[in-house]
Structure 1
Amino acid sequence: TVPTAPIDNCGMPSITLPAGFTDRGTPLAAQFVGGDFAEPLVLAAGHAFQQVTDHHTRHPAL
Protein backbone atom coordinates (compact mmCIF):
# COMPACT_ATOMS: atom_id res chain seq x y z
CA THR A 1 0.00 0.00 0.00
CA VAL A 2 1.05 3.61 -0.40
CA PRO A 3 1.76 4.30 3.32
CA THR A 4 4.23 1.40 3.50
CA ALA A 5 6.01 2.14 0.21
CA PRO A 6 8.89 4.21 1.69
CA ILE A 7 9.69 1.45 4.18
CA ASP A 8 9.37 -1.27 1.54
CA ASN A 9 11.61 0.61 -0.90
CA CYS A 10 14.31 1.01 1.76
CA GLY A 11 14.30 -2.73 2.46
CA MET A 12 13.66 -2.19 6.17
CA PRO A 13 11.89 -4.98 8.07
CA SER A 14 8.38 -4.03 9.13
CA ILE A 15 5.08 -5.47 10.22
CA THR A 16 1.67 -3.84 10.03
CA LEU A 17 -0.99 -4.93 12.50
CA PRO A 18 -4.61 -4.07 13.26
CA ALA A 19 -4.84 -1.26 15.84
CA GLY A 20 -8.55 -0.74 16.39
CA PHE A 21 -11.20 1.37 14.71
CA THR A 22 -12.08 5.03 14.38
CA ASP A 23 -15.33 6.35 15.83
CA ARG A 24 -16.85 5.78 12.38
CA GLY A 25 -15.71 2.14 12.27
CA THR A 26 -12.80 2.59 9.86
CA PRO A 27 -9.98 0.13 10.64
CA LEU A 28 -6.70 1.54 11.95
CA ALA A 29 -3.24 -0.02 11.72
CA ALA A 30 0.07 0.23 13.54
CA GLN A 31 3.37 -0.34 11.78
CA PHE A 32 6.54 -1.45 13.54
CA VAL A 33 9.77 -0.79 11.65
CA GLY A 34 13.30 -1.93 12.45
CA GLY A 35 16.79 -1.37 11.21
CA ASP A 36 18.84 -3.66 9.03
CA PHE A 37 18.58 -7.32 10.03
CA ALA A 38 16.17 -6.52 12.89
CA GLU A 39 13.46 -8.92 11.75
CA PRO A 40 13.40 -10.81 15.08
CA LEU A 41 12.97 -7.55 16.99
CA VAL A 42 10.18 -6.35 14.70
CA LEU A 43 8.34 -9.66 14.99
CA ALA A 44 8.78 -9.67 18.78
CA ALA A 45 7.35 -6.14 18.98
CA GLY A 46 4.36 -7.17 16.89
CA HIS A 47 3.80 -10.24 19.03
CA ALA A 48 4.03 -8.20 22.24
CA PHE A 49 1.53 -5.68 20.83
CA GLN A 50 -0.95 -8.44 20.06
CA GLN A 51 -0.50 -9.95 23.51
CA VAL A 52 -1.73 -6.75 25.19
CA THR A 53 -4.47 -5.79 22.69
CA ASP A 54 -7.45 -7.52 21.14
CA HIS A 55 -7.47 -5.58 17.89
CA HIS A 56 -6.45 -8.63 15.86
CA THR A 57 -9.57 -10.52 17.00
CA ARG A 58 -12.12 -7.78 16.25
CA HIS A 59 -13.95 -7.22 12.98
CA PRO A 60 -15.72 -4.14 11.60
CA ALA A 61 -19.49 -4.09 11.50
CA LEU A 62 -20.76 -4.71 7.99
Structure 2
Amino acid sequence: MMPVSGQLEIRCSYGAPWRIAYDRANAGEMPYHVVLGGSAILEIPGGGAPQHLAAGDIVLLSHGSRPR
Protein backbone atom coordinates (compact mmCIF):
# COMPACT_ATOMS: atom_id res chain seq x y z
CA MET A 1 0.00 0.00 0.00
CA MET A 2 1.11 3.50 -0.80
CA PRO A 3 0.76 6.11 1.94
CA VAL A 4 -1.68 8.89 1.07
CA SER A 5 -1.77 12.39 2.50
CA GLY A 6 -3.87 15.41 1.66
CA GLN A 7 -3.59 19.16 1.70
CA LEU A 8 -6.17 21.92 1.17
CA GLU A 9 -4.41 24.77 -0.54
CA ILE A 10 -7.20 27.16 -1.36
CA ARG A 11 -10.95 27.57 -1.12
CA CYS A 12 -12.37 29.81 -3.81
CA SER A 13 -15.74 31.41 -4.31
CA TYR A 14 -16.37 32.69 -7.81
CA GLY A 15 -19.25 34.44 -9.54
CA ALA A 16 -19.93 34.47 -13.28
CA PRO A 17 -18.21 35.23 -15.51
CA TRP A 18 -14.89 33.82 -14.30
CA ARG A 19 -12.06 31.67 -15.57
CA ILE A 20 -8.92 30.34 -13.93
CA ALA A 21 -6.03 28.33 -15.38
CA TYR A 22 -3.68 26.10 -13.40
CA ASP A 23 -0.16 24.88 -14.04
CA ARG A 24 0.61 21.20 -14.37
CA ALA A 25 0.69 19.33 -11.04
CA ASN A 26 4.01 18.29 -9.56
CA ALA A 27 5.03 14.63 -9.36
CA GLY A 28 3.09 12.86 -6.61
CA GLU A 29 0.23 15.40 -6.62
CA MET A 30 -3.35 14.85 -7.81
CA PRO A 31 -5.31 18.11 -7.83
CA TYR A 32 -9.05 17.98 -7.24
CA HIS A 33 -11.93 20.41 -7.45
CA VAL A 34 -15.31 20.27 -5.70
CA VAL A 35 -18.32 22.22 -6.98
CA LEU A 36 -20.21 23.23 -3.83
CA GLY A 37 -22.91 25.29 -5.54
CA GLY A 38 -23.94 26.47 -8.98
CA SER A 39 -22.18 25.05 -12.01
CA ALA A 40 -18.89 25.16 -13.89
CA ILE A 41 -17.32 24.03 -17.15
CA LEU A 42 -14.06 22.08 -17.04
CA GLU A 43 -11.76 22.38 -20.05
CA ILE A 44 -8.52 20.42 -20.40
CA PRO A 45 -6.48 21.48 -23.46
CA GLY A 46 -6.23 18.47 -25.77
CA GLY A 47 -8.61 16.57 -23.47
CA GLY A 48 -11.75 16.45 -25.59
CA ALA A 49 -15.07 18.21 -25.15
CA PRO A 50 -15.64 20.55 -22.17
CA GLN A 51 -17.34 18.87 -19.20
CA HIS A 52 -20.31 20.54 -17.52
CA LEU A 53 -20.14 20.29 -13.73
CA ALA A 54 -22.89 20.86 -11.17
CA ALA A 55 -23.10 21.23 -7.40
CA GLY A 56 -21.86 18.06 -5.73
CA ASP A 57 -19.45 17.11 -8.53
CA ILE A 58 -15.87 16.22 -7.61
CA VAL A 59 -13.11 16.19 -10.24
CA LEU A 60 -9.78 14.38 -9.77
CA LEU A 61 -7.10 15.49 -12.24
CA SER A 62 -4.51 12.79 -12.74
CA HIS A 63 -1.51 12.52 -15.06
CA GLY A 64 -0.50 16.18 -14.79
CA SER A 65 -3.60 17.62 -16.52
CA ARG A 66 -3.77 21.41 -16.84
CA PRO A 67 -7.42 22.43 -16.27
CA ARG A 68 -9.06 25.76 -17.12
Q: TM-score range by the shorter chain?
A: under 0.3
Give the TM-score normalised by the residue count of structure 2.
0.26
Structure whose residues are more often helix by fraction: 1
